[in-house]
Amino acid sequence: MSLYHFTIVVRDANSDLANLEDLFFEAGCEDALLCQYNGTVYLEFDREAESAVQAIKSALDSIRTLGFKDLIVEEQGFSTLAEMAERSGISRQALSLYAQNKRGNGNFPKPMYGLASKSAMYLWSEVATWLFNQGKLDKAQYEVATVNF
C-alpha cells in the first residue's frame, strides 16, 4: 500500500463547511481535509491504496454517494510553474530553469495556455512525467498525475 496525495474540487457543493464536514466524513472521506477558496469547496486527500487509480476512484465514488457530480481531480489538469513547484517540492526558480531548458536533460514540456497573458499553464501530467524521469518527483505523485479515467 502506498499513500497518495490529491485534491478533488467539488464544484457543485455549497460553501457551508459546518454541514459538509460530517457528510464527507460519513461518506468515507475521513482521510481528507475539507477546504474552500472563494466559495469553492475542495478536499485534500491523503489516501492509502494499492494504486493511484484505486485511491482516486474510491474518493470520487465516496463523494458521488452524496449526490455531487461536478468533480475535478486537480492534479489531472493545468498548472502554472508556481503551482507545480509547490506540488513537487521543487523551488519556483529551479522549475523555471527546467522550463527554459537551462537545467535537466532538456525537452521540458511546452505550455498549453496563457502564453499571450504571460501566465503560461502546463499540463501537469506531462510535467510530472518529465520530473519523474529526471528523478525529481516521487512515484506516488507521478502515478496520481498520470491516472486516466
Phi (first) and psi of residue 105, to 5 degrees: -90, 10
Alpha-carbon gap, residue 36 to 68, rounded angstroms:
16
Residue 21 CA to chain centroid, in angstroms?
A: 21
| pLDDT at position 117 | 85
The candidate with the shortest Cα–Cα distance to 84, out of 118, 57, 102, 111, is 111
Q: What is the DSSP letter of 109?
A: P
Q: Which residue has the cell 524521469?
A: 133
Cell of 146: 498520470
Q: What is the pTM of this model?
A: 0.87
| pLDDT at position 105 | 83
Alpha-carbon gap, residue 29 to 49, rounded angstroms:
13
Residue-by-residue pLDDT tens, the chain, 149 positions: 999 999 999 999 987 777 899 999 999 999 999 999 999 999 999 999 999 999 999 999 999 999 999 999 999 889 999 999 999 999 999 999 999 999 888 899 999 998 888 889 999 999 999 999 999 999 999 999 999 87
| pLDDT at position 25 | 95
| pLDDT at position 8 | 97
Q: Which residue has the cell 492534479?
A: 75
| pLDDT at position 42 | 96
| pLDDT at position 46 | 97
